[in-house]
Amino acid sequence: MKLVIFGPPGSGKGTYASRLKSELNIATISTGDIFREAVKQGTELGKRIKKYLDTGQLVPDETVIKAVRNRIAKPDCEKGFILDGFPRTVEQAKTLEKAVKIDVIIKLLVPKQIIIERLSNRRTCKSCGAIYNLRALKPEKEGICDKCGGPLIQRKDDTIPVIKERFQVFEKQTRPLMEYYESKVPFINVTCNDIDMPPEEAIEQIMKELKKLNLTRTSRSD
């Protein structure tokens, strides 16, 4: 099973993808995680994309496609995968289509104000990358990671001006992508109008829709 989870920054893609990974027993591929790790390690890829991540701009197609191709080729993707953060442009989608067939797109519909509230309250552990939220998922000790004791920071792309810029970039550059996929791949739309909606509600809805499409045969329960 090959899925794409799609939505604006802060819509919950990473949270839902991690839960679906457990439900379906398939790999998750996050371009955001790939890029942040590259920046942390100071690789050539990391150096090229740092300026884009810091300002909320999209990383160029050529760089993204190369990173995703390398990731899909790994053994844990043989049974399928969930793409989080890719594709984001029609060109990326066309290139992906040459390599694999996507079974379904999960589209997260979240209002802009909820996005701003979520991301501006997000904090990330500088040491291990664990994510917290000052509103909904606070650490036991303020500013300290529960898992490793590292310092919690606010990423530059989680400040309100950059969040707004990221949202605008998303709306402008990915609208054609949705139009491209409409006649090619079935969609599962998940609406969140409540900032406190439990992730489990969305996962339950997604699993029901996957079952209707006969796409749950690769899950651990089958």
The yes-or-no answer on residue 69 being catalytic is no
Which position among 19, 88, 118, 123 bears the catalytic label?
Answer: 88
Q: Which amino acid is at 73?
A: A
Mean pLDDT of 157-162: 90
**Taking Cα atoms as reference points, which of 7, 5, 9, 2 lies closest to residue 160?**
9
Q: CA 134 → CA 18, 56, 152, 159, 195, distances in Å?
A: 21, 22, 11, 14, 13
Residue 222 lies in a domain: no
Residue 218 lies in a domain: no
Is the pLDDT confidence value at 124 over 90?
Answer: yes
Which position among 122, 175, 211, 212 bears the catalytic label?
Answer: 122
Which position among 13, 36, 71, 123 bears the catalytic label?
Answer: 13
pLDDT for position 217? 56
Residue 220 lies in a domain: no
Residue 172 lies in a domain: yes
Residue 84 lies in a domain: yes
**Between these two residues, 57 and 210, which has the higher pLDDT value?**
210
Residue 221 lies in a domain: no
Displacement of CA 77 from its chain's centroid (Å): 17
Mean pLDDT of 137-161: 93
pLDDT for position 189? 95
Which position among 19, 36, 118, 166 bears the catalytic label?
Answer: 166
For 161-187, how does the pLDDT look when each residue is reduced to its tens digit (9 = 90+)? 999 998 888 888 888 999 999 989 999
**Percentage of the chain exceeding pLDDT 90:** 47
Instruction: Name the token pair of 44.
Output: 């050539």
Report the CATH number that the domain containing residue 118 is assigned in CATH: 3.40.50.300
**Taking Cα atoms as reference points, which of 55, 57, 35 lies closest to residue 47?**
35
Question: Could you tell me the pLDDT band of residue 67, with boundaries at 50, 70 and 90?
Answer: confident
Q: Name the pTM for this structure.
A: 0.78
How many C-beta atoms surround the C-beta of residue 211 within 10 A? 12
Cβ neighbours of residue 201 closer than 8 Å, sequence gap 6 or more = none
Mean pLDDT of 12-40: 88
Q: Which amino acid is at 156?
A: K
Query: How many structural domains comprise the chain?
Result: 1
Residue 95 lies in a domain: yes
Residue 7 lies in a domain: yes
The yes-or-no answer on residue 48 being catalytic is no
Which position among 21, 48, 50, 155 bears the catalytic label?
Answer: 155
The Cα–Cα gap between 15 and 27 comes to: 14
**Between these two residues, 70 and 5, which has the higher pLDDT value?**
5
The yes-or-no answer on residue 122 being catalytic is yes
The Cα–Cα gap between 217 and 202 comes to: 20
Question: Which domain range does residue 146 map to?
Answer: 2-212
pLDDT for position 222? 41
- 3-state DSSP assignment of residue 10: coil
